[in-house]
Amino acid sequence: MKQLLVVFTGGTIGSKKQGNGIDVNDAGSYSLIDDYINSAEQRDDVRIDAIQPLNLLSENMTTEDWIALAEAVHGIDTESYAGIVITHGSDTLAYSAAMIGYLFADTKIPIVLTASNYPVADERSNGRRNFANAIDFVVDAQLPGVFVVYEDDKGDALVYLATRVTQAMSFTDQFGSPYGVPYGKMADRVFNWLEHERNPRPEALITKPKASFAWEPATLKLDSSIVYIRPYPGLNYSLYDFTTIRPKAILHDLHHSGTASAIEAGPYSLPAFIANCKKLGIDVYICPIRDRSAALYSSSLRLIEAGAIVIEKLSVEAAITKLMLAYGLYDDKAQAKAFVTESVLYHEHNEV
């Protein structure tokens, strides 16, 4: 008999329809366990305990909530459990997964995040199946690490490494991954690893490296003074006035080819914006770039020449959470930069 711990945080998977809307409900989370126990997916070889450190819709998640979740997971006696399942809202699942992946990269047991597209009581919901597949993954794979399990629109229960899952799409509710490569999938309660040049082999996860950094819940800081900007034609940088309140860093997204506006001067010029931020002491990072050593467009090179710091091989979700962690850990900007661009914490570089 394997003992599992479920960590409820709210989200759609812990919500109920209330009037014309959907909201978290005190009974919603725990009713998921009852629903699972009374379903065909229920396993006879597991026992489930549960805690609920948070109860919110995930669009309302803050860095303080991440710290509360991290404190709860940190306090778990992992010798008593075969694995941990964290139920979460789908809206910010990719960000929370990356953060938990960084903080618990050296976990000795599987930590699996999952979510639901509709409240569990809705017949369209994949929540109970996602929950069941997360449990099956813990029992069958027995892989240490942090993962996401979520059923796609084809009915495949996909498994992702926590730092390699990207936000669900607005119109399809489908999660993704860089290069479209999940870590594997569940089928008939068995984990099937996807053999791919970018996926670490399962046995490589068993040999756990030492944690890249030390942290304690009482002193953990995650810095929310990070601004994220996404490019589009006509983006007017003069609307960003940081003379009064200044972020510590900016993450500027890029088009698929690793580019953004490289006009030399004027309100639409990203190089001019980067130069102005440098004068104000604000670090500007650009992401995603597949490989800095590969040939880049001249516009990309102009951004780098202007002072942009390249984060390569990371998804935006993995990059922004790593920045929040780095600038929370280090007051020295050089240390924060090295942490973001040089360290590999938990498979966030999309390569083996």
pLDDT tens digits, one per residue of 313-324: 999 999 999 999
Q: Is residue 20 over pLDDT 50?
A: no
pLDDT tens across 108-128, in order? 999 999 999 988 888 898 999
Q: What's the confidence (pLDDT) of residue 89?
A: 94
* Averaged confidence pLDDT in the chain: 93
d(CA 126, CA 119): 9
d(CA 164, CA 252): 19
Which pLDDT band holds residue 207 (cuts at 50, 70, 90)? confident
Q: What's the confidence (pLDDT) of residue 29?
A: 77
Parse the chain into domains and list their residue ranges: 2-206, 226-342
pLDDT tens across 133-149, in order? 999 999 999 999 999 99
Q: What's the confidence (pLDDT) of residue 285?
A: 98
Contact 102, 147 (CB under 8 A): no
Q: What's the confidence (pLDDT) of residue 213?
A: 86
Same fold, 2-206 and 226-342: yes
Q: Are strands 15-18 and 21-24 parallel, antiparallel or unpaired?
A: antiparallel
Tokens matching residue 323: 């920045």
Q: What's the confidence (pLDDT) of residue 14?
A: 74
Contact 308, 252 (CB under 8 A): yes
Task: Please tell me the class of the 226-342 domain.
Answer: alpha beta
Q: Are strands 83-87 and 309-312 parallel, antiparallel or unpaired?
A: unpaired
Other residues' Cβ atoms within 10 Å of the Cβ of residue 188:
7
Q: What's the confidence (pLDDT) of residue 44?
A: 94
CATH 3.40.50.1170 fits 2-206, yes or no: yes
